[in-house]
Amino acid sequence: MTTADLPSDLDRLADTRAAYAALASRVAAGEPWPLAEHFGTEPEASWGPREVLAHVAEMLPFWLGELERVVDGEGGAPVPFGRIADDASRIGLIARDRSLPLRVLFARIDAGLHGWMERLPTLTETDAARIGQHPRLGEMPVGAIAERFVIGHGEEHIVQLEGILAAAGR
């Protein structure tokens, strides 16, 4: 990411924010959604809307914090950041929050996307050039962190929710 990429990134985040808002009533109309029996990283894991929403709601502030860790890192070496899919805290937050009211999950997602939309324009070229060291993916500049873990990943979960709704006939 450079500041030149910013208009496109902000447009994508705005589109993502609008898409989650548009999905809210459709997901609510499908209630009650059963909670998934397996929702970790096991082969039989299968997420329903509640697990997807709980994950998106927790991932947005998590990755913003990780981006800040990289931006504020000391020295010239890549800054350790991130987690992997089987992280116990990640799975625990999904387990806890998937039973929250849908309005709460959607509000958290909206607030999280808003936070990213507020932060990205304040990044300098120096900030964007900072490098993090992810435990699985290796070295990643700030822009790749935003793209991989928030912008693109948020869009993927919209597609996932659309698929779940379609499969349920909604």
Other residues' Cβ atoms within 10 Å of the Cβ of residue 69: 16
**Segment 13-45, tens digit of pLDDT:** 999 999 999 999 999 999 999 999 888 777 767
d(Cα 56, Cα 42) in Å, to the nearest integer? 19
**Segment 94-149, tens digit of pLDDT:** 999 999 999 999 999 999 999 999 999 999 999 999 999 999 999 999 999 999 99
d(Cα 18, Cα 115) in Å, to the nearest integer? 15
Residue 76 CB contacts under 8 Å (≥ 6 apart), including other chains: none
Residue identified by tokens 């964007």 is 128
Q: Which domain holds residue 32?
A: 3-167
pTM of the model: 0.93
d(Cα 112, Cα 94) in Å, to the nearest integer? 16
d(Cα 21, Cα 17) in Å, to the nearest integer? 6
d(Cα 144, Cα 152) in Å, to the nearest integer? 10
Q: How many structural domains comprise the chain?
A: 1
CATH number at residue 123: 1.20.120.450
